[in-house]
Amino acid sequence: MKFNQHFLILKLALIAIFVMHAIPGMVNGDVSKFGTLYLDQVGFAPLGLYLAWLVKLSHVGLCISLVTGKYLRIMGWITISVLIVGIYMVHLPDGWYVVGGGRNGIEFNVLLIAVLLTLMYPEWQFFKTNQD
């Protein structure tokens, strides 16, 4: 079995997470609210709405990239950049934990970044198994 075939579950999980993070907000108006009620207020006015849509469209682009296997590193780095900005601007004040010790911490974003890097650079495998 090729090493990349081990990543099917990770790809499917990421697709589910990013589709559910992007599409409902695009349909129900939450992207516009995020742009105007948050991004504009924290210093991105008058570009908040456009940035919010670019973020959500980049999530959809990542999903397409995961399905097709094309441009994964480009879309991955765009998404990682968005996640890092989200860590700094939104999640860091709440600490590490998403639940429990905090309420909206950074641990989920850190995990998403690690999974993306794993899929983007499969040659970075540090531990070989007997199946490889």
pLDDT in tens, 103-122: 789 999 999 999 999 999 98
Is residue 131 assigned to a domain? no
Is residue 129 assigned to a domain? no
Name the pTM for this structure: 0.88
Considering its fold, how many domains does the chain have in total?
Answer: 1
Is residue 39 assigned to a domain? yes
Is residue 12 assigned to a domain? yes
Distances (CA, A) of 129 to 1, 3, 26, 121, 125: 12, 10, 42, 17, 10
Q: What is the pLDDT of residue 128?
A: 65
Is residue 63 assigned to a domain? yes
Using the Cα atoms of residue 54, residue 90, residue 24 and residue 107 in order, give the sign of their dihedral. positive
Q: What is the pLDDT of residue 14?
A: 97
Q: What is the pLDDT of residue 1?
A: 33
Is residue 102 assigned to a domain? yes
**Residues whose CB falls within 8 Å of the CB of residue 67, separated by 6 or more in sequence, listed in order:** 15
pLDDT in tens, 12-66: 999 999 999 999 999 999 999 999 999 999 999 999 999 999 999 999 999 999 9
Is residue 132 assigned to a domain? no
Within 13 Å, how many C-alpha atoms sit on residue 110's CB side? 11
Q: Which domain holds residue 71?
A: 3-123
